[in-house]
Amino acid sequence: MARIIVYTGKGGVGKTSIAAATALLAAERGLRTIVMSTDAAHSLADSFDRPLGPEPTPLGPNLWGQESDVFHNIERYWGTIQRYVASIFAWRGLDDVMAQEMSVLPGMDELASLLWIAEHNDAGEFDLIVVDAAPTGETLRLLSLPEAGRWWLEKIYPIQRRIAQLTSPIVSRMTGMPMPNEEVYQAGEELFHRLEHIRGLLSDPEHSSIRVVLNLERMVIKEAQRSFTYFHLYGYPTDLIVVNRVLPADAGPYFAAWREAQQRHQPLVAEAFEPVPIRSAPFLDHEVVGEAMLGQLGRAIFADEDPTQVYFRGRPYSVDHHGDGYRLSLQLPFTSKEEVGLTRYGDELVVQVGTWRRNLILPRLLLDAQTAGAQFEDHTLQIQFTATRPAPTREKTGGSTR
C-alpha cells in the first residue's frame, strides 16, 4: 500500500504550498510520489509553475502532479449514471448540450477526485500519495460521503432497486420517461463499494494521515479545532499540525503588532492539539512558487526528518454511543482524578489538568446535548452527554397553548 497524506485547512492558509513542498522533499529522497489536488479551485500547478492535467503529469525525478477535470472524471467514474441523468433532462425538453451540462451534479468532480486516491493506491505505481484537499468544510463533507453511501447501499438501495424493477415498464409505457435499467443500478452499486474502499484506506492509521495546516489567527485556529474534532469523529487519523507563515523575531517594526498577535496565539495551538505534534513553517521572504522555494519550505518544516513518517498514532479522544446518550473519552495518562477540572462554554469543553488546559470543540451531535456527569478511570476521562436537551415546556392558559 502507498503512504497517503491529506493536507487540509481553511482557505488561504497555504496548504497547497505545504502539500507541494512535502511531495517534492519525498521525491528528492527517492520515493515515487504523486501530489494531486481535490480542490475545485486548483492552485497546485501555480505552486510548481508548471501545467498539470487530469492524468498524472511528470514534474521531475520520482515526482508527478495531477489536477482533476470535471468532465474527464465524470466520464471515467460516473459515465453510466451521468448518461441516464442526461436522458431525463433531454426527455424534459432540454437540448442535448444543455442536458449534458445539467447532468453534472454538484459534488461529482470532488468525489471522483477522491476515487483517484484509491486508484493510485491499488495500481501500486507510487510509494506516496500527497493530497492537496479542498478547504476544511468541503473536505469534511467529502470524507463523510463513504459512511453515508454505505448506509444508503444497505438500507435504501435494495428497496429502491426492487421498486424500479417492478414499476419501470409501466411508468415508461405511460409517460415515456426513461427509467434506470440494471446497468445504471450496477454502476451505482460499484460506486458505493468504491467509496467504502476509500474509507478503508483513509481510516487506516498505519498508511494514511490527515494533516491540518493553519495560521496563527484566532478564527483559523478555531476552525482547525472543529475539523480536528470531526476528522476523529469519522475515524480519520490526524498525525501532524503545520503552523504556516510564522513571522521571524527580526520581522521589523511594520510587522511588530502582527508578530505579537502570533506570539499570543501560539499557546492556543499547543492547548488545542496536544498530544499531536506541531511543526512550524516560516514566513519566507519570497513567494512560494517553483521548485526552489518549495524545496526551501519543505526543508524548513521537516529538516532531516522523514516527511512521510507517521508522527502520531492513537486518538486523543473519541465519541461513542453510551446508554441513551453519548460518551466522550479523553486519555489523560499520568493524571489523578483530583487534578482534573471541567468547564463547558456552549460548543467548547475546557479540560484543566493542573496548570495544563485543553480546549475541545464538541462535535455537532453534542451541541444540543447536556453534560450529565463525568468519571475518571484507568487514566481516561469519560464525560456523559444526554441525547438531546429537554424539550421546552408549554403552559396552558385559558384553553390555549403557548
Q: What is the pLDDT along the chain (402 residues), one digit of tens a residue?
A: 899 999 999 888 999 999 999 999 999 999 999 999 987 677 899 999 999 988 899 999 999 999 877 666 666 655 555 554 555 455 455 555 555 554 555 556 666 777 788 889 999 999 999 999 877 666 766 676 666 555 555 554 565 555 555 555 655 555 555 556 666 666 667 777 777 788 888 889 889 999 999 999 999 998 888 788 777 666 788 899 999 999 998 888 999 999 999 999 998 898 888 788 999 999 998 999 999 999 999 999 999 999 999 999 877 677 888 888 899 888 765 567 887 888 888 878 888 877 666 667 787 778 888 888 888 887 788 999 987 654 444 444 343 333
Q: How far apart are CA 381 and CA 246, in angstroms?
A: 34
Length of the chain: 402
- pLDDT recorded at residue 223: 86
- pLDDT recorded at residue 402: 35
Q: How far apart are CA 57 and CA 300, in angstroms?
A: 26
Q: What grid cell was written down for 271?
A: 492547548
C-beta of residue 281 within 8 angstroms of C-beta of residue 300: yes
C-beta of residue 208 within 8 angstroms of C-beta of residue 202: yes
The type of residue at 94 is L
E strands within 254-324? 278-282, 317-322
Q: Does this model's pTM top 0.85?
A: no
Q: How far apart are CA 48 and CA 62, in angstroms?
A: 15
Q: How far apart are CA 145 and CA 102, in angstroms?
A: 22
398 three-state secondary structure? coil
- pLDDT recorded at residue 399: 39
204: left (phi over 0), alpha (psi -120 to 50) or beta: beta
- CB neighbours of residue 206 within 10 Å: 10
- pLDDT recorded at residue 148: 59
Domains along the sequence of the chain with CATH? 3-302 (3.40.50.300), 317-385 (2.60.40.790)
Question: Could you tell me whether strands 3-8 and 380-385 are parallel, antiparallel, or unpaired per DSSP bridges?
Answer: unpaired
User: 218-233 vs 136-151: helix axis angle to the nearest 10?
Assistant: 20
How far is residue 89 from each of residues 96, 172, 391, measured CA to CA in Å?
Answer: 9, 15, 44
